[in-house]
Structure 1
Amino acid sequence: MTLATHFFDMPRFLATSPLFSGLSPDELTRIAKSSQIRSYAKGEMIFSLGEACEAFHIVVSGQVKLFVVSPVGQEKVIEIISPGQSFAEALVFLNKPYILSAQALVDTVLANVSKNGVVSEIKQDPHFAMHMLAGVSRRLHSLVQDVEAYSLQNGMQRLIGYLLRDVEMDAATDQKTLTVSLPASKATIASRLSLTPEYFSRVLHELEAQQLITIDRREIRILDVKKLVGYGAQ
Structure 2
Amino acid sequence: MAIQKIDPREFLKRQPLFQDLGPEELSAIAAGTVEVHAVRGQPIFQRGDICHGFHTVVYGQVKLGFVSAQGNEKIVEIVGPGHSFGEAVMFMDRPYVLTAHALADSLLLHISKKVMFDEIDRNPVLARRMLSGMSRRLHGLIADVESYSLRSGSQRIVSYLLNEEPPADGARFTLSASKKMIASRLNLTPEYFSRVLHELVARGMIALRGREVTILDLQRLRAFES
Match of 1:104 in 2: 102
Amino acid at match of 1:81: V
TM-score, normalised by the number of residues in structure 1: 0.91
2:90 equivalent among 89, 92, 101? 92
Task: Give the secondary structure class of the aligned counterpart of 2:16.
Answer: coil
TM-score, normalised by the number of residues in structure 2: 0.95
CA contact (8 A) 1:57 1:86 kept: yes
1:179 aligns with 2:172: yes
Match of 1:23 in 2: 21
CA contact (8 A) 1:77 1:192 kept: yes
**Could you tell which deviates more after superposition, 119-128 or 101-110?**
119-128
The 3 A distance-change label for structure 1 pair 117 and 52 is: same
Tell me how large the CA RMSD over aligned residues is.
Answer: 1.6
* Cα offsets for 1:120-160 (capped at 9, x unmatched): 11111112111211121121111111111111111011111
**Could you tell which deviates more after superposition, 17-26 or 125-134?**
17-26
1:77 aligns with 2:75: yes
Mapped partners of 1:130, 1:41: distance in 2: 34
Percent identity for Structure 1 against Structure 2: 47
CA contact (8 A) 1:178 1:225 kept: no
* Cα offsets for 1:151-175 (capped at 9, x unmatched): 111101111111111456xxx6xx3
CA contact (8 A) 1:59 1:109 kept: yes
* Cα offsets for 1:174-194 (capped at 9, x unmatched): x32211211111101100000
Gaps of 5+ in 1: none
Task: Give the secondary structure class of the aligned counterpart of 2:78.
Answer: strand
Match of 1:63 in 2: 61
Mapped partners of 1:107, 1:37: distance in 2: 13
CA contact (8 A) 2:164 2:175 kept: no
Amino acid at match of 1:95: D
